[in-house]
Amino acid sequence: MNIRKVFLILALTFGGYAVADIVTAINAVETVTSNISVPTSPNGRLMFRPCGGECEEKFITVRLTPETTYVVAGEAVDFLGFRQAFYNLRRGSDGYALVSYDTKLETATNVRLGF
C-alpha cells in the first residue's frame, strides 16, 4: 500500500515536467513557380510566397546551403541543373514547387520542382 502511495506521489510530482511544447523543425510549403525567386548562386537566398497564383502573402526568405538538395520531376540535380530547369519551366506553363526548410536556422533543406 505504501509503495502505491509513493509511486502516485512521484507520478504527480514529475508528471507536470513531461509536458513539452511541440515545435516544427522542418516546414514544407507548396507554391507555384511564379511565386519563387531563385538566386544566382548556391549560397544565396531563395524567396517564395506560400500560396498559389497571385496573393497578398509576404515572401519567405531561406538561405541555400551546400546541403540543400534539388529535385526536378523526380530526378536529383545540382544547383545549376535546378536553376536551368526552373527558368525553362517559367517560359512555358506554370509548375509547382515544394520548398522544405529548417524553421530555426531558416535554411532550405530540399527544393522540388514539378510540372
Structure confidence at residue 114 as a pLDDT band (50, 70, 90) = confident
Give dist(CA 48, CA 50) in Å, integer: 6
Place of cell 514547387: 97
pTM of the model: 0.75
Q: How far separated are the first and last CA of the chain, in Å rounded?
A: 67
Residue identified by cell 531563395 is: 46
Tell me how crowded residue 72 is: count the other CB atoms within 10 A of its CB: 21
**114 - beta bridge partners?**
96
C-alpha to C-alpha distance for 11 and 113, rounded to whole angstroms: 50
Q: Where are the domains of the chain?
A: 24-114
The predicted-structure confidence for 35-88, as pLDDT tens digits, reads as follows 899 999 999 999 998 887 677 778 999 999 999 999 999 999 999 999 999 988
| Residue 89: band (very low, low, confident or very high) from pLDDT cuts 50, 70, 90 | confident
